[in-house]
Amino acid sequence: MRIRKPAHCMPAIILALLLFQAFSSSAAEIVLEGTQASRVKIVMREIVDPFPGMKTLELRFVEPKSFESPTYRQKIDALRFEFDPAPASRIQEIDDTGNRVHIVHWSSVDSPVRASLTYEAEVQAKAIALTTDAPYPPTDLPSELDLYLQPSPQVQSSHKRIKTLSRELTVGASDQYEVVMAVMRHVIDNMEYILLPEHFDALSCLTTGKGNCQNYSHLAAALLRAAGVPVRIVNGITLKKPYSLEAGAYTYSFESAQGRHSWIEVWFPETGWLPFDPQRTAWWVETRYIRVEVGRDNADTDQDGTVQWSALRGSPGQPRVDEQIEVTFLRDQIALRTVGEEPGTEEVLLRPVIGRDTPASKTPSRPSPEKPRDETPEEIDYASLTYNVPYTYGNKEFPRLFNFLEARIAGPDRSNRNRLEKNFVVETAEYVTGPKVFAQYFDPGSPLLLEEIKLALFSFGGDGSLWIDLHEDEGGRPGIRLASSQPVSPSDFMNPKGYDWVAFDFRRESLGLGPGGYWMVLRSRGAPIVNWFYCYGKAVGPARGTLSTPQDGETFTTIQTYEFNYMIAGKGAKELMEE
């Protein structure tokens, strides 16, 4: 491809890559060894503001229990409740799956109710070598596992489509480990993370290919139960404290949002229950996970955080509920190292050494987000094309103008309008105007005249400005800078309702993008305070497509294991769009 001046419609120059440099989109299963050890203090607060005519209030808390497995353990102590005003009654129950539920009742409510559960958790995650040769199909399972082999309303393991896919994924498997890894790899590679799916069950997840942590857990559980492997759903919280791992020339940065989360535990004859996160990891949940409630599915684990009330007849409305999670790390020790990488998934996946590591699963996976290219592409005079077709590309899924502080959902019984349950909508965002500079890779897939790049941002204020520098891709990192957008002030997009698209204008540049990969680097001046919304995994781009570097750094070497939400907008070439 050659650089040419435009024949029409582009008064400046059209920039394109002289040579296509393949961006390495392949990811790997990062194999770990070592430990994490943390002590964490957690305060779960529920603040309920009543509405006129509200009579009674009931809150439910599930008491987190100590738990131990070969790869993860938590020990809970210093647990206490506080209530203001004092409740009329408080009882405890053990539900069908062993959760200890605290039911707290107020017989009259005319002012805000504040309730809190405080505890400390000693948490250890161990990436130790595991040996398993559990036969498949499993045999002689204990009777207490029957509950976790059966279908449920959200885990439709007996459905024809689920059973068919399960058979396809597990054909030829010689032991249970191969079955579990085949399912995990398939779910991780074929699901796109979104915060607000319409439904949370396994079947809708399989149909749409999209979902949140509940969908990931339900689909993995359904495929495994269909294969005869016992699985239970875990509800808990994740903690927003990043940690890093060195792996070759890169550093991987792992970070969770702080809030409710769902994952699974799989039963193995040699080890008992082992935790897996089908959204992010395999055989590994970090000390950033706190386990609270277990059950057949998420509809079954609906006790913790439930709010229920009664009201005078003719008093419509519902209380305002604010859930706050306050976390303090009292101790945090990281003694992990990578011992290798193995092909297996297109996403970044962590796991410990397995006693006899098997080759990567041959299960189908999501195609690479990059289009295949010929080594000697056809010579096209891109400057002579007619750029007049509106064209957008990017990761468009995020909850615009969503109030995370007051987010609640109605329970599965929609007829009960006086009940709200916990939800798994968490603010997945990064502070991007601080000590780090962030770069996001994109490949628009077609030549276009660039008009603007939109980012999903929230402004907390502050003085200064932001802009985007656009770079060519050079060996998987930002290379030559091509252009800069017009600056944007943080005061221009302050919106208390939530995150929204913020447009960075490139029209003055008359910049044409040829085929290939590019990097947007978000820059700032002054002291703006801005968050950029992201999604777990890589919905659009490659696994190593989100990078960061310190403000004074020159080389982007830290891989973020998420993808920022963005849109590329411009005019596509009429001649190519018609092909």
Q: Which tens digits make up the pLDDT trace of 348-404?
A: 888 888 765 443 333 333 333 343 444 444 567 777 888 889 999 998 888 898 878
Do 398 and 509 belong to one domain?
Answer: yes
Q: How high is the pLDDT of residue 2? A: 26
Angle at which helix 176-190 crosses helix 213-226, to 10 degrees, equals: 150
Q: Are 281 and 379 part of one and the same domain?
A: no
Domain boundary (306, 323, 352) is at 352
Residue that the structure tokens 């279908």 belong to: 151
- Decide if pLDDT at 435 tops 80: yes
Q: Say yes or no: 286 and 338 in one domain.
A: yes
Domains: count for the chain: 2
Let me know whether 269 and 380 are in one domain. Answer: no
At residue 360, the pLDDT reads 38
Tell me if residue 433 falls in helix, strand or coil. coil
CATH code: domain of residue 218: 3.10.620.30
Q: Following DSSP, what letter does each residue of 16-78 receive, concatenated?
A: --SS---------EEEEEEEEEEEEEEEEEEEEE--TTEEEEEEEEEPP--EE-SSEEEEEEE
- In the structure encoding, which two tokens stand for residue 178, read together? 């191969």
The stretches of 191-322 forming alpha helices (DSSP H) are 202-208, 213-226
567 in Cβ contact with 386 (< 8 Å): no
In a domain, 94, yes or no: no
Give pLDDT, residue 11. 36
Question: Once rounded to an integer, what is the mean pLDDT over residues 139-148?
Answer: 93
pLDDT per residue over 50-101, tens digit each? 999 999 999 999 999 999 999 999 999 999 999 999 999 999 999 999 999 9
pLDDT at 383: 78
Q: Which residue has the tokens 């007996």?
A: 158
Radius of gyration of the chain (CA): 25
Tell me what the mean pLDDT of segment 239-252 comes to. 90
Whether the per-residue pLDDT at 551 is higher than 80: the answer is yes
Q: 286 and 383 share a domain?
A: no
Residue-number span of the structural domain to which 384 is assigned: 369-577
